[in-house]
Structure 1
């Protein structure tokens, strides 16, 4: 039985995730009171249900404190469960609340930011117990669904194949919080200082050709690709089925994008399942 607990920040995408899992054939329950999760899991064990996903979050209010005790009981009973934690930046959450005109569950005085900070503090311990953490700040619904598909569909179809997410980003906009590994490529030749290339991106051949023509790039890519190829099987031995690799340059438009694409091409040839996201390429 697969028992998935979806939790995290209000407004971070738990409803979108639950819709995804329902489409994937999971039996889904939204806003399950934490005090009931152990009893519910026990019922599921004696049913024909094979894949279950439940959302548990701060809406449980006074019941939320019971969650850790309930999870401990489930572990004692040998119930295998996984926790997916969704989060987003303060700015992203505030924007989403303004767009939907919905009220934050902890917002009693019309101060959304205070409510977000309070919720983040309450959930800090639970975040530490999560098996997977996804930051949805910069993700569209389509991108979010693609990442969920990679995490919970691809590697279950073929559990011998590790899945890899590669995200390019700009350091000026912040490091992706859910990355397992972060690589800094700001030392590579920068197309930003070439007038004819400045407005182009690392997705285009003209920029890639410029970056790749330098001996430094060739030397680095060989060492970098060899290093990643060495690490992936080692992570897999430790039970990891998915790895997120973040690659950053100054603005996230040229060098990191090119490097992410080249790493993707390399890993695809090695048989890994790979998706790429360019977080800051259009900023």
Structure 2
């Protein structure tokens, strides 16, 4: 696995072989991504990056839009490695001629080197131009038979920084149905069937973040049964999301006003998931009633 030292990944290869998917994958891995920077600007660009002191991993796409790159590659890489002491890796994405032709026909796009001729002519010419940089690549991935998800998995496996860490994050949020559904939720759970602390005078002005309210919600037999089923469901579906290549899942738990039941359940669910995943817990409407009262 890669260390936390300064790192530059150059993503290149055949047009249509998956560079867009690759860059999206590097973004999910926390890389600062740049598409098609002129090669002569690379040393100065890296100096500016280092001045910030905040960016240590950069992924840079180089393709036929910067054709002079292939003439300058050796000189540029030599300067970056020896003068600026950067850990450089080249990822070369390839695919068979047949598969690339099929992809261009499917998207109805022209190959950048065959605007006025057959796609295959441009593909052959590009393959010849890229032969030199391909031999320098630390990793060559043939995407002929890979789905976008499989390519992402290959990149995650090869470039993730921490052993066993997958770039996957879960957001657990509470909300109130009276204020509308969260538009970015992947899973929405309605807990309005549970006992409502709002009708207990001493609990009404508290929230699910207060221990008394949390205990009231959790001590219900209905809540115990629900939690057991819901946690078992999450243990089934979340690995499926990961297998399909998702990097983020939003679990929204709602009650009427987003003050009591949903807050308590979001806390419980988030703590349960933290045992296996990177989780953040937010409460969208927990202060909404207080804000309404203050305005009035």
Scaled by the length of structure 2, the TM-score of the pair is 0.51
* 2:51 is aligned with 1:46: yes
Distance in 2, matches of 1:52 and 1:64, equals 20
Q: Deviations over 1:147-173 (max 9, x none)?
A: 1111111xx2129xxxxxxxxxxxxxx
Matching of residues 1-283 of structure 1 within 5 Å = 1-47=6-52, 48-77=54-83, 78-153=85-160, 156-158=161-163
Q: Deviations over 1:40-81 (max 9, x none)?
A: 222222221021111011111245412221111112212221
- 8 Å contact kept, 1:38–1:71: no
Distance in 2, matches of 1:152 and 1:66, equals 26
Offset of 1:102 from its aligned partner?
1.4
Q: In terms of Rg, which structure is larger?
A: 2
Q: Deviations over 1:111-145 (max 9, x none)?
A: 21111111111111100110111000000111111
Distance in 1, matches of 2:90 and 2:16, equals 17
Distance in 1, matches of 2:68 and 2:79, equals 19
Distance in 2, matches of 1:158 and 1:120, equals 35
Corresponding position of 2:240: none
Distance in 2, matches of 1:121 and 1:3, equals 25
SS in 1 for 2:90: strand
Distance in 2, matches of 1:79 and 1:146, equals 25
- 8 Å contact kept, 1:41–1:79: no
Runs of 4+, deviation exceeding 6 Å: none
Distance in 2, matches of 1:130 and 1:85, equals 6
Distance in 1, matches of 2:137 and 2:68, equals 21
RMSD: 1.5
Structure 1 unmatched ranges of 5 or more: 160-283
Distance in 2, matches of 1:23 and 1:12, equals 19
